[in-house]
A and B are shown apart, each in its own frame.
Chain A
Amino acid sequence: MSDVSQDNGNGRGKLFGGDFDIKRALLEGRAFFALIAIIVIFSILSPVYFSTSNFLTMSSHVAIFGLLSLGMLLVILTGGIDLSVGSTLGLAGVFAGFLMQGVSFEILGVVFYPPVWVVVILTCGLGALVGAINGVLIAYFKVPAFVATLGLLYVARGVALLMTDGLTYNNLGGSPELGNTGFDWLGFNRLLGVPVGVWVLAAVAILCVLALSRTPFGRWVYSTGGNARAAELSGVPVKRVQVLVYVLSGICAAIAGLVLSSQLTSAGPTAGTTYELTAIAGVVIGGAALSGGRGNVRGTLLGAFVIGFLSDGLVIIGVSSYWQTVFTGAVIILAVLLNSIQYSGRKTQQASSDGKTTSPQSESATERSPVSGSTAGNAGTQS
């Protein structure tokens, strides 16, 4: 550094790039290696695991977690958390099921059967509404995210139970006379041999990548999570950003709910229970920091695949569900351990630049959070 003259002419070529560091690439790609390891291990343990059809089946399960995780990623990047996505997923499924049964307007004495595309839009709207309530509580009424979304976790689940009296809608097929067929398309059909749910995940993921790396909104998300006060003083509409990420998370959950109930051809009020935790796990395995400001779509997707392929693999080789729970937990802890190695390791690498990506993923500052002198001190000690 001290060799760099104050005239910046020579920094030009490196403005966003730098040399590629193999050690770091390995650490960055650790979710990827975990995924490979999982595939290899289960392929050895079970002959049916390594087959295209199994991968496609597993991927359509991953689609659900992946959608939830992407929404969760946006929220976590701003330094928040959304515990309500599992319930929102359940509520969305039930709401869609309810619409498929036809809406009767008693005053007019008619029953209206909305076509599937209307059902989809209305359901996404419901997800957005749940998210908006979360966002407004958090951004404007200063309710801590954990508490607000915990509340919505209960409320949304309760509403879902109330709507169905605890029962499940099994008739989601619609009928040609009523013009509302096609709901099963989302979960059952394939495009080019790939389940539609996976395409949906891919589309949402691409939108998220674009939004995060190429739009002002993406910068706003990262800066809000990194330092909301500084972001606000730089003109970032912090409150609007907060509301928006919860809305998007709600929409993602609603889409996941649609895909899931279509896959299951039924919509039950308890669908998606504890999925919020799986979603958080996916984001964390993908390398995002719960404190906000760090993380990306690629990692999150890998995280969702790790969790999905792991749990399906455990089912395939016939491990008891108790052990499945233990293994899943162990993988999460392992991933987070690697995570902390990554961040502390990066501190010594502060000067080197960010590989190929320009996504706001820079290293932690030595003097980042104002903690005690000794804590701040430890930041620079690894070598």
Chain B
Amino acid sequence: MSEYVTNQEEALGKVILSARNIAKSFGNVHALKAVNFDVHYGQVTTLFGENGAGKSTLMKILSGVMQPSSGEIVLEGEPVRFSSTTEAQRQGISIIHQELSLAPNLNVRDNVFMGREIVGKGGVDYTEESRQTRQLMEELNEPIDPLTPVEDLRLGQQQIVEIARALSINSRILIMDEPTSALSASEVEVLFRVIRDLKSRGVSLVYISHHLEEALTITDHAVVLRDGRMTAYAARAEIDLEWIVRNMVGENFDLGSPPDGYAMGDAVLSIEGVTVPDASVPGRAVVDDVSLSVRAGEIVCIYGLMGAGRTELLESVAGRGDMAAGRVLLHGENISRLSIAERIEQGLVLVPEDRQRDGLVQTMSVGENLSLASIGAFTKGLLTSRGREHHVVRDSISNVHIKTDGAAASIGSLSGGNQQKVVIGKMMATHPRVVLLDEPSRGIDIGAKAEVFRLLSEGAAQQGLAVVFSTSEVGECLSIAHRIVVMSRGRMAAEFGVDATKEEIMAASGEAVVA
């Protein structure tokens, strides 16, 4: 495994930080039940587990975000207590949060140095901060100008800024809670290079991901958490993918295959020559003359690297943002002028990529979020009917398997993956004819992913639902999609049928150049 030689070989693999019998309850919810967990010096320990297993909670405890209900944290043999993240940082522990924690109104530089400003003689030393930021971003192969406001960045880029911030702290122990959920293969490769580099400098890492294969390539230790308990541990050498899946969910999951045995209908969604201008660079287009037509019952996957224009394409089809040219036809009718609400009414919905920003209303309960898009379905005259809303909500919760303490629970109390399921459930509850999903599997576990894909392919086969989903994981394209469309730099680069190979798809996206 370790292809590097260090002078810290002595310490390598020794336990540097450990959680002893950590338990954490939120009211009557027992998120963690006496968990033991070790972080190894200069190595990567990966935490696997289903949505809601308690991974993020455990990491928040180790990094001072929360305090455990009971149990203790031992750092280099000494019991420690962190009452805040600042305290944990002082001890050299920092975390990349699953839900990004950037201030959207500030620029990249200020976010990276937020709370740790470099102070020179004349106040904050912005030049130095910019220099370091630029250097970090280059290291991560994402040369974003340090003065770009974070709200102008795509989700994946924001994730990279978040990573840069964690790196800039120079911590001894770095916790990464799903750092790659919005990244595509080549960016993940860059991150892994950085991780190897950190390891060689003696940094200990904790890694969490639902991309199991990817995680296996980087990890030295695997720990499985299930229902708030640690259920399995093994060193990398002893395990394989099958071991993880078996320990995580107990059975093997298949993402399915393209549904067949039925006749597809006519084209329901036709995208004709859609062009979306780049808001920051005038004269450039993020989506450049894209045309695509999807038939009833057909499932189309859009694959592409970060910045390929997938999100912008899907958003403009759903009615958000300006189209410079082109039109969108639904059932043969031009809907380019309709509002988002009108498109939803006509059966065209979008499951957005960024659940925090575009998907969830954090002040509302799980149930109210789930029913938000389908209020019409339970409104009689002027008033809403609680009984019918109850049904809508209950059906959604069971359809997409949301693990919640009830519909009245707050959105923030759900695990990241379960929040994602709420966004999917909310849009599916409108009974759409055409559904666009932007990275629907972001942060959901393999079981849930299979469940969502099953829902989509059943919809396609039985109700003639037309599905367009985007992903940055090739494996997902090769599961239920009848057709794979590859986007690169805003353009449609290639189109494949069911018999495409991973290599073909990745090459078409321009990935081979980087890797």
Using a CB–CB distance below 8 Å, which chain A residues touch chain B?
Answer: 1-4, 6-9, 11-12, 14-18, 210, 214-216, 219, 222-223, 225-227, 229-237, 289, 292-294, 347-354, 358, 360, 362-378, 380-381, 383
Contact = CB atoms under 8 A, between A and B. Distances in A.
A2 B371 CA distance: 24
B368 A219 contact: yes
B408 A16 contact: yes
A132 B275 CA distance: 35
B386 A1 contact: no
Given A294-B363, A350-B26, A233 B405 contact: no
Contacts of B86: 374
The 3 closest A-B pairs by CB, nearest first: A365-B412, A293-B363, A353-B408
B103 A371 contact: yes
Given A230-B358, A350-B413, A372-B114, A4 B340 contact: no
B341 A236 contact: yes
Chain A at the B interface: SS class:
loop
A215 B386 CA distance: 11
B30 A2 contact: yes
Nearest to B104: A370
Contacts of A235: 340-341, 344-345, 373, 430
Interface stretch (B120-128, B259-267, B377-385, B470-478): B377-385
Contact of B60 (A15, A18, A380): A380
Given A350-B413, A373-B97, A15 B27 contact: no
Nearest to A224: B361
A18 B367 CA distance: 14
Contacts of A383: 67
B352 interface: yes
Contacts of A210: 383
A18 B66 contact: no
A225 to B, nearest CB: 7
Given A237-B341, A293-B363, A362-B368, A219 B375 contact: yes
Interface of B: 26-31, 33, 52-54, 60, 63-67, 83-86, 94-95, 97, 99-104, 114-115, 165, 227-228, 318, 320, 339-341, 344-345, 350, 352, 356-365, 367-368, 371-373, 375-376, 379, 382-384, 386, 390, 393-394, 397-398, 401-413, 426-427, 430
A362 B103 contact: no
Nearest to B226: A2
Contact of B30 (A3, A226, A376): A3
A226 B63 CA distance: 29
A370 B356 contact: yes
A11 B370 CA distance: 15
25 contacts: A1-B26, A1-B404, A2-B53, A11-B397, A11-B406, A12-B394, A15-B407, A216-B384, A219-B384, A223-B361, A226-B363, A227-B360, A235-B340, A235-B341, A350-B410, A351-B26, A360-B368, A362-B411, A365-B411, A372-B103, A375-B101, A377-B60, A377-B64, A377-B66, A381-B83
A233 B363 contact: no
Nearest to B393: A15
Output the residue of A8, A219, A347 with the most chain B CB within 10 A: A8
A376 B101 contact: yes
Contact of B410 (A2, A8, A11, A363): A363
Nearest to B382: A215
B406 A373 contact: no
Contacts of A289: 363
Contacts of B390: 15-16
B401 A350 contact: no
Contacts of B375: 216, 219
Nearest to B371: A219
Contacts of B103: 370-372
B340 to A, nearest CB: 6
B27 A371 contact: no
Contact of A351 (B94, B115, B405): B405
Contacts of A368: 362, 412
Nearest to B385: A214
A373 B115 CA distance: 9
B217 to A, nearest CB: 27
B358 to A, nearest CB: 5
Nearest to B63: A377
A347 B26 CA distance: 9
Given A227-B362, A231-B372, A11 B404 contact: yes
B76 to A, nearest CB: 23
A233 B406 contact: no
A8 B390 CA distance: 13
Contacts of A293: 361-364
Given A18-B406, A289-B363, A381-B84, 10 more contacts: A4-B405, A210-B383, A223-B372, A227-B361, A230-B352, A230-B361, A236-B372, A365-B410, A365-B413, A367-B101
Nearest to A367: B99
B83 A2 contact: no
A229 B357 contact: yes
